[in-house]
């Protein structure tokens, strides 16, 4: 679906009667200029049209809302309003599900908890889902997703499934987060199949462990369906062996995200500066300049081959190849955005796409 | 199919007319006592019945349906002579298979020439390196399944589970190319050349790899060879053992406040390669998770070195044999006890080892010290 650069949306969705993405009939109330990056992104951008379409099931049965538009200038407020609006709808869905299960109580072997799955969806290409993930997704009653789950993957859900965007925003109201957790619990206890979709693999920098913790403390068993982590999906795309005889005997995954209260990941730079290992940095765009400097400082050769891959495995994939010393600059010139994966190590030069001549070095490769 | 512990097979396959595993009618000629580990393994053991069944298409088309595997080239009576030397069997198999592979190649060439209208270009066929995951066939990606089902020829080794091999199309040919010590290099080259010929003839050739092809799969070496010959190799990623097994056990490889990075190592020390145990020094990081592939034989040494370089001796660890398959077995232990417990449990390859505080986050981590260092079976 080709979207114009100017998107029209309104906070009142009664004109839309959709359960998930489909043809769109909108009455222009207000308009927001979107940059082309957002309109062509394979992922759900925070205030994108796709997101509102998907989540609109929570609005369609709510009380009459005036057809006036009041777009708050503060994106956090929009977010909080959305969640607050969604909770009553989630509660309604929950009652519907409970009723459904009670009425076919004969079919449900036990009145035990429903199933909660943490499902890895891979880096973006829907063909990289595992068979198991597809089966689980198609049986889900409620799917929670965030920005790292590609649009193409979300298109695979069953016709009656409900999708709910739960991406984090700065300043997310903690009370509301707790309410979401409690609802998840209630859904599970009511016997619903709840799926929490995660980009890549849920247990590699997905914060999947934290989500499991919460539910398990409540006595709900969470099943994890692994996914193709970005390192695997993207190395396959580029033909870069993460380990290779005589070149790299180990591969290490790091995150560039420095979380408040967490150990500064840049501290690992010292023993990560190992020319016989491959380094893969997740979510590393903002801290890369600093990381590259530290690696070189701790002994990694400045001409170590490196690659930064934006939106890997999707049609919008873009790759920057450079030597480590030039990587930060080239990334900046190419204006790469998240999600971008960075691979550092001699193995990068084994890619058939690694530029051969120094003139071509540090070039941008588009899918 | 339940296999008795005693397997009957014969080197003469005239009584079998199968393309791939199916029902079996054998005339007992000789018998070999197999241990239960082999019969219940989810993987193709080197001299297992399943392997001979799968590869037997190469014997079918030969003259008289009386292809014999002989050690010295002479006709052999239908008596059993199980070579005591497994390497000889392997060499003989490949040598026997080459003529059959050449025949298949001619058939494919002919087929493509006759429907050249369908083939948009007479260019090379497709060669795929496909990751099949750690064993559970449900962990294949959609892309892997599509590619596998369109393959004309599939090469596989011991790390591709039997269940995955059951997914292949009905007309496909399977060929076991697992490495054995002392593998004859001339024959390896012949296989490479044949792969090349198949690709040039327009066939879809798939090289199946356990796990993910680019993580300790030596996928890079196979790509190199073909790419040097001008054949583009497409890589289909797979669920690497670390991901599949951590999901099974509910062990987050990274976890806020516990492990900020995860590192994959191999325990295999290859002749001429850097001793992987050298990495132990900077791998002894209590804030990282360590995952060791193919690490059974070098574990006692690795564990000692890690502790020596500062990793706490009570660091939680797990060793998982045949992960994600019905035969999965797990040993949980503190690092200092891991080698002993693995030995007691008699774990065999493929076994993945995970070392780090995250292991204790598993719902299956034994809670009391009495239960610690216990064996968990599926």
The catalytic residue among B19, B46, B111, B157 is B157
Write out the two tokens for B7. 């397997």
Q: Would you state the pLDDT for residue A304?
A: 97
Average pLDDT over residues B120-142: 84
The tens digit of pLDDT for each residue in A223-239 reads 999 999 999 999 999 99
**Highest mean pLDDT range out of A80-84, B55-59, B102-106?**
B102-106
Among A55, A146, A201, A326, the active-site one is A146
Chain B contact present for A345, CB below 8 A = no
pLDDT at position A58 is 55
- Mean pLDDT, range B133-160, rounded to an integer: 92
Contact A288, A329 (CB under 8 A): no
A245 touches chain B (CB under 8 A): yes
Position B227 pLDDT exceeds 50: yes
pLDDT on residue B251:
95
More confident site: B24 or B85: B85
Residue linked to tokens 């002919």: B110
Mean pLDDT, to the nearest integer, of B1-27?
Answer: 33
Every domain of chain B with CATH number 3.30.950.10 lies at 242-377
Residue of chain A whose alpha carbon sits nearest to that of B246: A203
Instruction: Determine contact: A106 vs chain B, CB below 8 A.
Output: no
Mean pLDDT over B11-19 rounds to: 30
More confident residue, B152 or B48: B152
Question: The domain B23-239: what is its CATH number?
Answer: 3.40.1010.10
Give the distance from residue B97's alpha carbon to the nearest chain A alpha carbon, in angstroms.
29
pLDDT of residue B217: 82
Check CB contact under 8 Å for B215 and A242: yes
Q: Is B251 on the interface with A (CB under 8 A)?
A: yes
- Among partner residues B244, B254, B265, which is closest to A226 by beta-carbon distance? B244
CB contact, 8 Å: A174 with chain B?
no
Test A130 with B143 for CB contact under 8 angstroms.
no
User: CA-CA distance, A129 to A124, in Å (whole number)?
Assistant: 9
pLDDT at position A312 is 95
* Residue B323 near chain A (CB below 8 Å): no
**CB spacing of A228 vs B141 below 8 angstroms:** yes
Q: Is A212 a catalytic residue?
A: no
DSSP A3: P
Q: Residue B89: name the closest of B32, B42, B39, B36 by CA.
A: B32
Residue B166 touches partner A, C-beta closer than 8 Å: no
According to the model, what pLDDT value does residue A81 have? Answer: 56
Q: What does the H/E/C string look like for chain B?
A: CCCCCEEEECCCCCCCCCCCCCCCCCCCCEEEECCHHHHCCCECCCCCHHHHHHHCHHHHCCHHHCCCCCCCCCCCCCCCCCCCCHHHHHHHHHHHHHHHHHHHHHHHHHHHHHCCCCCCCCCCCCEEEEECECCCHHHCEHHHHHHHHCCCEEEECCCCEHHHHCCCCCCCEEEECCCCCCCCHHHHHHHHHHHHHHHHCCCCEEEEECECCCCCCCHHHHHHHHHHCCCCEEEECCCCHHHHHHHHHCCCCCECCCECEEEEEECCCCCCCCCHHHHHHHHCCCCEEEEEECCCCCHHHHHHHHHHCCCCCCCEEEEEECCCCCCCEEEEEEHHHHHHHHHHHCCCCCEEEEECHHHHHCCCCCCCCCCCCCEEEC
What span, in angstroms and rounded, lies between the C-alpha atoms of A41 and A311?
8
C-beta atoms of B265 and A249 within 8 A: yes
CA of A86 vs chain B CAs: smallest distance (Å): 29
- B residues 282-321 closer than 8 Å to A (CB): 282-283, 285, 287-288
Q: Do B264 and A243 touch (CB under 8 A)?
A: yes
Contacts of B367 (CB under 8 A, 6+ apart): none
Per the CB < 8 A criterion, the answer to whether A249 and A346 are in contact is: no
Which of A123, A129, A131, A343 would you mutate first to test chain B, the one with the most B CBs within 10 A?
Answer: A131
**Which stretches of chain A drop beneath a pLDDT of 70?**
1-39, 45-86, 100-101, 103-113, 168-180, 258-269, 357-363, 366-367
Residue ranges, CATH 3.40.1010.10, chain B = 23-239
Tell which CATH classification among 1.10.10.10, 3.50.50.60, 3.30.70.270, 3.30.950.10 matches the domain B242-377: 3.30.950.10
**Least trusted range by pLDDT, from A31-35, A294-298, B85-89, B356-360:** A31-35
Average pLDDT value over all residues in chain B: 73
Which pLDDT score, from 0 to 100, does residue A361 have? Answer: 46
CA distance B193 to B225: 10
pLDDT at position A39 is 52
Catalytic pick among B223, B294, B305, B341: B294
Q: Say whether residue A275 is in contact with chain B using an 8 A CB cutoff.
A: no
Token reading at B27: 């005339």
State whether B138 and A129 contact (CB < 8 Å): no
Q: Do A132 and B145 touch (CB under 8 A)?
A: no
A15 touches chain B (CB under 8 A): no
| ipTM of the complex, rounded to two decimals | 0.78
CB contact under 8 A, A130 and B138: yes
- Alpha helices for chain A (secondary structure H): 36-39, 49-55, 57-60, 75-103, 131-138, 151-154, 174-189, 208-217, 230-238, 269-272, 288-297, 324-334
Cβ contacts of B301 within 8 Å, gap of 6 or more: B277
Between these two residues, B76 and B127, which has the higher pLDDT value? B127
| A166 closest CA partner among A227, A222, A90 | A90
pLDDT of residue B92: 56
Least confident of A275-284, B88-97, B102-111: B88-97
Contact state of B363 with A216 under an 8 Å Cβ cutoff: yes
Q: Which of A141, A143, A117, A122 is nearest to A55 (CA)?
A: A143
Nearest-by-Cβ selection for A259 from B216, B256, B285: B256
Candidates A236, A350, A351: best to mutate against B (most CBs of B within 10 A) is A236
Q: What is the pLDDT of residue B120?
A: 42
Cβ-based burial of A367 (10 A; exposed 0-12, middle 13-18, buried ≥19): middle
- Residue range A135-144, pLDDT digits in tens: 999 999 889 8
- The whole-number average pLDDT for the span B295-312 is 93
B205-209, strands of its sheet edge to edge: B173-176, B153-156, B205-209, B127-131, B233-236
């Amino acid at each position: 679906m080709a979207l114009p650069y100017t998107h029209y949306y309104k906070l009142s969705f009664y004109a839309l009667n959709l359960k998930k993405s489909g043809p769109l009939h909108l009455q222009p109330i207000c308009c927001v200029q979107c940059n082309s990056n957002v309109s062509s992104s394979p992922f759900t951008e925070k205030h994108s049209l796709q997101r509102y379409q998907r989540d609109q099931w929570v609005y369609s049965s709510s009380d009459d809302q005036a057809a006036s538009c009041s777009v708050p200038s503060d994106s956090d407020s929009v977010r909080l309003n959305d969640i607050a609006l969604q909770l009553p709808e989630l509660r309604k869905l929950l009652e519907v599900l409970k009723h459904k299960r009670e009425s076919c109580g004969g079919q449900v072997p036990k009145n035990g908890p429903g199933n909660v799955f943490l499902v890895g969806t891979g880096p973006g290409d829907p063909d990289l889902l595992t068979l198991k993930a597809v089966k689980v997704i198609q049986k889900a009653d409620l799917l929670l997703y965030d920005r790292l789950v590609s649009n193409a993957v979300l298109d695979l859900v069953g016709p009656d499934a409900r999708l709910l965007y739960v991406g984090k925003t700065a300043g997310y109201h903690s009370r509301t987060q707790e309410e979401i957790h409690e609802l998840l619990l209630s859904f599970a206890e009511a016997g619903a199949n709840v799926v929490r979709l995660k980009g890549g693999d849920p247990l590699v920098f997905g914060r999947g462990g934290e989500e499991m913790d919460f539910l398990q403390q409540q006595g709900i068993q969470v099943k994890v369906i692994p996914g193709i982590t970005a390192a695997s999906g993207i190395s396959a795309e580029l033909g870069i062996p993460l380990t290779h005889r005589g070149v790299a005997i180990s591969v290490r995954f790091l995150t560039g995200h420095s979380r408040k209260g967490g150990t500064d990941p840049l501290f690992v730079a010292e023993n990560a500066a190992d020319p016989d290992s491959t380094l893969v940095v997740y979510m590393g765009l903002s801290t890369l300049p600093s990381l590259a400097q530290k690696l070189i400082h701790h002994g990694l050769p400045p001409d170590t081959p490196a690659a930064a891959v934006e939106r890997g495995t999707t049609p919008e994939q873009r790759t920057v190849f450079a030597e480590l010393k030039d990587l930060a600059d080239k990334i900046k010139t190419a204006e790469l955005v998240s999600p971008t994966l960075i691979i550092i190590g001699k193995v990068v030069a084994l890619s058939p796409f690694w530029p051969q001549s120094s003139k071509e070095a540090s070039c941008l490769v588009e899918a």
